[in-house]
Amino acid sequence: MTITSVKISEFGGPDVMQLVNQPSPMPQTGEVRVKLTAIGVNLIDTYHRTGLYPLPLPSGLGCEGAGVIDAIGDGVDNLTIGERVGFCMAMGAYSEAIILPHTSLVKLPDNVSDAQAAAVLLKGMTVDYLFHETFALTGGETVLFHAAAGGVGLLACQWAKHLDVALIGTASTEAKCEMARAHGAAHCFILDEAALAGGLRDSFNQLTDGKGFPVVYDSVGKSTYQMSLQALAPLGTFVSFGNASGPIEAVSPAALAAAGSVYFTRPTLATHMARPGWMQKSANRLFDLMARKIINVDINQTYRLADVAQAHRDLEARITTGCSIILP
C-alpha cells in the first residue's frame, strides 16, 4: 500500500512543498499508525517551510490532524484499531497517514468531528494555556489580543467572553473586525500603519480608564512589538507567542523598565505539552467548551492535499479567517 505525503527538501516559498508517494510506514514498538481524515493548517507550518523554525531536511510538514488508528505496534495497550484520535505538534501531518508514539494522541469524543479536532486542537490548547497559565485570567480584565479573527483569534474571542474578559482585538480589515466582535470581542480595531504608529492610544486609554492593559497577547511580533509594549499597564505582562510579521528583533531590559516594570514572556505550546498529563487535560477542557457550545470551531477554508501550496499562500496573504484544514 502506498500513501501520498507532502515533503520539503529545501526551505522557501509554498512551491518547495512537493507531493510524494511512498510505501505506507509500519508502526514500531510503542507507536501507532493513524489514517488521516483531516489535517490542521497552522501559521507555524509556514515558519517550518521557510526555515524560520529550522527542521532537519528532507522533512515532512504539518503538525496537527485527526483520523482513525489502522495499525498498532507492540507495547500499546491503551488504544485499539478503529479508534478516532487527534494530535498536534507532531511533524509530518500533511499526509494520508502518520506514525506517532501512542502517548502523543488524544482520544476524540463523539461530539467532536475529525475535521473539528484537526482544526482546533493546536489552536485551542494554545488559548487554554495563554488564558489559564501564561497570564491567568480571572474575569473582569480588559486585554489586548492581536489577529483576533484568525484561527487562534476567533477561539480566543469566544473563550474570553466566556471568562467575562473584555477582549480588545485587532485585525487588518473591518470585515475581520466584525467577525471578531461577532465571536465575543468587546471591541476590535483595524491594525493599519496609523495604529502601529500609536494611533489607538486614546482608544486604549479610554477602554482601560487610562491604566493600560494588564496583558497583551501578541502573535504578530515584529510590527506590533512597540505598540503592544506601549499599551501595557505598569507591571503588565507582554505575552509574545508568534511571529506573523517576523520575529521581534531584540527585547531590551531597559525598554521593559521604561514601559513600567513589565514582564515579557515567550511561551510555546510544546513546553506545555511536554508536561505529563497536560495534553489530555487541556484537550478535555477544550472539548467540554465545545460540547457546551461555548466554543464553536469556524472551519472557513478547506483544501485538498494537492492544494497545500494555496493553503499556505492564503494564510500568508492574510485572507483567511478562523481555521483552515486539509482533507487528504
The interface mask with ligand NDP, positions 14-43, x = CB under 6 A, is ----------------------------xx
Q: Which of 69, 108, 220, 248 binds ligand NDP (CB under 6 A)?
A: 220
Calpha distance 106→269 (Å, rounded): 15
Calpha distance 322→269 (Å, rounded): 19
Task: Quote the DSSP letter at residue 316.
Answer: H
Interaction of residue 219 with ligand NDP, rule CB under 6 A:
yes
Q: How far is the CB of 275 from ligand NDP (least distance, A)?
A: 13
Q: Which stretch binds ligand NDP (CB under 6 A): 31-39, 91-99, 106-114, 266-274?
A: 266-274
Interaction of residue 297 with ligand NDP, rule CB under 6 A:
no
Q: Which of 83, 141, 314, 316 binds ligand NDP (CB under 6 A)?
A: 316
Placement of cell 505525503 in the chain: 5
**Residue pair 21/3 in contact by the 8 Å Cβ criterion:** yes
Interaction of residue 123 with ligand NDP, rule CB under 6 A:
yes
In the complex with ligand NDP, the residue whose CB is nearer, 150 or 212, is 150
Q: Which stretch binds ligand NDP (CB under 6 A): 28-36, 51-59, 108-116, 237-245?
A: 237-245
Calpha distance 299→178 (Å, rounded): 17
Interaction of residue 318 with ligand NDP, rule CB under 6 A:
yes
**Residue pair 124/153 in contact by the 8 Å Cβ criterion:** no
Q: Which stretch binds ligand NDP (CB under 6 A): 207-215, 257-265, 292-300, 311-319?
A: 311-319
Task: Quote the DSSP letter at residue 74.
Answer: T
Interaction of residue 299 with ligand NDP, rule CB under 6 A:
no
Q: What are phi and psi of 249, to 5 degrees?
A: -75, -45
- All 3 cell numbers of residue 46? 509556514
Calpha distance 47→60 (Å, rounded): 13
Calpha distance 95→289 (Å, rounded): 29
Judged by the rule CB under 6 A, the positions of this chain that interact with ligand NDP are: 42-44, 122-123, 126, 147, 149-153, 171-172, 176, 191, 219-220, 241-245, 267-269, 315-316, 318, 320
